[in-house]
Amino acid sequence: MSEEREPPRVTLLCASLDPGRGGQERSIREYALELVRLGAVVTIAAGRPAPLPGVEVVALRPHGRGMAGVLAAAEAAAAAARDTSVVHAMLPVPSAHFYMPRGGIHREAYLRSSEAHATGMGRRVSRLLHPLNAARRALLKAEKDILEKAAGPVLVALSRGVADAARRHHGLPEERIRVVSGGVGVGRHDPSEETRARVRADLGIPPDAVMFLALAHNHRLKGVPQLMRAAASLPAVRGFKVVILGGEPGPSSERVMRLGAREDAAPFLQAADVLVHPTFYDPCSRALLEGAAAGKPLIASSRDGAVDVVAPACLHILRDPRDVNDLARAMLLALDADRRARSAAAAGSLREAVSMKRHARRMLDLFRRSALSAP
């Protein structure tokens, strides 16, 4: 990397830029746009490209079949760009300057995903099947190669948990680890009583009912089955509704509405009283960051790295997402208006801490410091 970079040039490498695929893709898009607003010139090379105004987007042309081919193409793009640009990869490629696994360290993510199965047999089968998946096998090998060799990209961990997993699974030394928590666009979550009233009316939720909102594309991993069981176990002491956004839609009941995927969660966050995210694993979930940005009390999981940042807004942090009784107790606590008000006030103080602008600024500072220290 050269010492002079005005404006800074950044090349982002990712598997997909399609926002319909989930939170990782939306985060990459928001991050790229924030870098541009801060003066960087950004190019994105993606396996599944999608247009992004103000950003040059190019397609990674696979050098072979499947994920191995995508990784080979990403490595070729990184090698071509590294002398003229900071290469920030979300894919494990050796020629990148920085590696940010937005889904967390792959080995850790697969182990946690196995734990989300309801039965011991399901967990054992999942652990046996993970290595048989060609894409997962390619990612595991590529990540092991870049993190365990003597010289390689700096790991940018979205939470302390991701950094710990890199040390534990790959022995990554401290000098190759930086922790930079994630961010979201906070402006989309400015309070709107009009939006709140409209969404609740559309959903048929009375103004005085407590609305719990879950944002989850992967229902099993994000603890949706446990959430549904917890909701069913609550006594009928007062009106509440659990709204699940993401994944496949499903039948509604007196207590739960499964709406399926929506392009924009922001209006539903405006309508909600509590954001609940009992995930089995998240390196730094958008759900909790967006909940804090919207000023909502949170029910979180200790398995979510975003707790590093949003703990003041948490009504309760689940030690074990399998504990349905603990989740039900947390939901009962959330029915208390005074508790919700205190947590909402704490969430309101976190908007800067969870902003994408802060995340992008910290990354640019990291890029500049690394350029100054390069030989």
Please write the tens of the pLDDT for every residue from 280-336: 999 999 999 999 999 999 999 999 999 999 999 999 999 999 999 999 999 999 999
Q: pLDDT digits over 18-76, tens only?
A: 887 778 899 999 999 999 999 999 999 999 999 999 899 999 988 878 899 999 999 99
pLDDT of amino acid 131: 64
- Whole-angstrom distance, CA of residue 188 vs CA of residue 321: 29
Place of tokens 């508790």: 339
Mean pLDDT of 352-372: 91
Contact 99, 92 (CB under 8 A): yes
Q: Which domains does the chain have, with CATH numbers?
A: 9-183+355-373 (3.40.50.2000), 190-348 (3.40.50.2000)
Identify any residues that bridge with 57 across adjacent strands, giving them in sequence order.
44
Token readout for 361 is: 């600024």
Q: What is the pLDDT of residue 133?
A: 81
Using DSSP's 3-state secondary structure scheme, residue 270 falls into: helix
CA distance 198 to 231: 24
Instruction: Quickly state the pLDDT bin for 371 (edges 50, 70, 90).
Output: low
Q: What is the mean predicted confidence (pLDDT) over 241-250? A: 90
User: Which pLDDT value is given to residue 292?
Assistant: 96
Write the pLDDT tens digit of every residue in 183-225: 999 988 988 899 999 999 999 999 999 999 999 989 999 999 9
- All residues at 6 or more sequence positions from 209 whose CB lies less than 8 Å from its CB, including other chains: 238, 239, 240, 241
Residue with tokens 């607003």: 37
Report yes or no: 265 and 215 within 8 Å, Cβ to Cβ. yes
Is a pLDDT exceeding 90 seen at residue 262? Answer: no
Pick from 182, 162, 158: which is nearest to 170 by CA? Answer: 162
- H or E segment to which residue 43 belongs: strand 41-48
* Residue with the larger pLDDT of the pair 369 and 46: 46
